[in-house]
Amino acid sequence: MINKLIIISLFFLGAFLTLINIYTHEKHLTTFVYQVNTENTHFKETVKSNQISGTFVAQANYLGGVNVNFNLEESFFNNTLVFTLKEGRDGNIYYTSKHQITSVNFVPYFPIGFPPIKDSKNKKYSYTFEVYKDSLIMSKNDTDLQITSLAAKHQFPKALLLSDNNLTFELIYYKVKYIFLNNNIIVLSYAFLLPIIYVLVRKYLQILDRNLVLPTIVLFVILIDIFLINSIHDLTFYILFLIWFGLFLYNKIDYRINYLTSLICLIILIITRIFNLTIAAEKAGAWAYLFMFTGTILLIIQYRFKIKPSVTMEKMRSKNQDK
């Protein structure tokens, strides 16, 4: 009974954490943002400025801003950026604004807002970012101005949302669609895995051999390193690997458990790759390799010296069946 209660509570904890996360990312309830394709941008350099322009089709009404991320060299700083938005390629200028580029305001997204366009849905807009060569450094810069990402921002008026059900429904549709495309939010929905992890860990602890307690703790530390520490240090690998290897060798544990652990790390690698958690993926990959390596060395040792493992996968399986 208690067990079931824990599982249900963990499920609700997952749901709660996910909702909190959605709220944190989506606290501006009346806006939604999506990425715009920037592959069709054109670069132009003149004596006075560096210019980059492109077009996009608005996916909804009330287009009210863009968030832009430039690949900026230091030489671009302390210059003036002019943003221009037109309807269509040759239409009239809808909005233009001037901004000073500093190293502070361009990391990571530079937001540019303008009065929302009521009927923007399915219309083509062309944008231009022009950096004027004010400073001496800029005048002899040797790289092109490049946009690494551009997001369109739609702002629905609150009053209108309350009165127009169709508009409210449209906004909800976009928000839900966005939530499923937002990696940050999906990552936190890992929390839903908590009940499954609990069941697996419980099962594991039931069949846990005392020789496996320390390796389990080491594995736990490795998992913490993968998921929670956002930097990579060679030394961490050396220390944890030596402890792990020593424990397996000393306790004569079946080499195949390393391949199992490697499999776990590979699955973690796939998940972290899907969610673009590069550092975690790099660490998961390195650990998958190291476990494979340990397993292979132990395999050679156990076969070469005819060592009979004290802990084997077969033993653990029969223990599981007994329970």
Partner 1 sequence: MVKKLPYILTLIVLAGIVTVVNLGFKYNFLGEDSGVIYDFPQTLSKVTYYMWDHFAAPGKINVTSTFNFLWLNFIFLLYKIGLNALEIKRILYFVFYASSGVGAYMLVHLLLTIYTKAKENLIGLAAFIGSLIYMFNHFSMELGSIPINPYHISYMVLPWLMYFLITNLQVKNTLQSLLLFALSATLIISSNPSNTLSICLFALFYCLFFYREIKKTNTRPVLFIFLALGLILLLSSYIGLTMFTVENPYGFSGSTSDVIASLDIHSKFTSFYNVFRLAGAADWASYSYNNVFENNPIFKSLGYVMILLVTLTMLSKKYLKIKLFFLLVILVSLFFAKGAHVPLANLYTILFKKFYFFGIYRASYAKFIYFVALSFSFFAGIFVILAKDFISKYKNRFLNYAIFLIPVAILIYNYPFFFGHLPHKDYLTVIPKEYQQASNILKSDATQFKVLSLPMAPRGSGLLLQWEGGKYIGPHPDASFLDQPVLDAYWYIYKGYSGLLPEDSWYGTKFERKINKLLNTSGFLNIKYIILHKDFLDKYHFGTSQIVKMDGRIKSKFLEKELAKNYQVKKIADNKYFNIYQLGDKYLYPKIYIAETIIASSDPIKYIFTNYIDNAPDGKVAVVNPTDVIQTIDVPKKLTFKYIDPTRYKVIIHDATKPFLLVFSETFHEKWLLSVPSVKHFEANGYANGWIIDPKMITNGSKTLEFELIFKSQEYFQKGLTIALSTLILTLTIILLKSVARPIKK
Binding site for partner 1 (CB under 8 A): 71, 142-144, 146, 232-234, 237-238, 241, 256, 259-260, 262-263, 266, 269-270, 273-274, 281-286, 288-290, 292-293, 295-296, 299-300, 303, 313
Q: Which is nearer to partner 1, 234 or 322 (CB)?
A: 234
Q: Which is nearer to partner 1, 93 or 267 (CB)?
A: 267
Q: Which is nearer to partner 1, 249 or 299 (CB)?
A: 299
Left if phi > 0, otherwise alpha if psi is -120 to 50, otherwise beta: which for 131?
beta
Residues 6+ away with beta carbon under 8 Å from 187: 275, 277
The residue to which tokens 């530390």 are assigned? 221
Q: Which residues pair with 42 in a beta bridge?
A: 53
Q: Find the shortest distance in angstroms from Cβ 234 to partner 1.
A: 5
Q: Which of 267, 245, 239, 271 is nearest to 257 (CA)?
A: 245
Q: Which is nearer to partner 1, 205 or 232 (CB)?
A: 232
Residues 6+ away with beta carbon under 8 Å from 98: 80, 81, 82, 83
Q: Find the shortest distance in angstroms from Cβ 146 to partner 1.
A: 7
Q: Which is nearer to partner 1, 64 or 309 (CB)?
A: 309
Q: Which is nearer to partner 1, 87 or 282 (CB)?
A: 282
Q: Find the shortest distance in angstroms from Cβ 15 to partner 1.
A: 23
Q: Which is nearer to partner 1, 156 or 241 (CB)?
A: 241
Per-position DSSP letters for 80-94, written without gaps between them: EEEEEEEEBTTS-EE
Cα(177)–Cα(174) distance, rounded to whole angstroms?
5
Q: Find the shortest distance in angstroms from Cβ 294 to partner 1.
A: 10
Q: Find the shortest distance in angstroms from Cβ 30 to partner 1.
A: 29
Q: Which of 190, 180, 58, 174 is nearest to 119 (CA)?
A: 58
Q: Which of 266, 24, 76, 61 is nearest to 152 (CA)?
A: 61
Cα(113)–Cα(67) distance, rounded to whole angstroms?
8
Cis omega before residue 108 (within 30°)? yes
Q: Find the shortest distance in angstroms from Cβ 213 to partner 1.
A: 23
Q: Find the shortest distance in angstroms from Cβ 274 to partner 1.
A: 5
H or E stretch covering 132: strand 124-132
Q: Where are the alpha helices (DSSP H) in the chain?
A: 2-25, 136-139, 158-163, 165-181, 183-188, 194-207, 213-228, 234-250, 256-274, 278-304, 313-322
Q: Which is nearer to partner 1, 161 or 186 (CB)?
A: 186
Q: Find the shortest distance in angstroms from Cβ 207 to partner 1.
A: 17
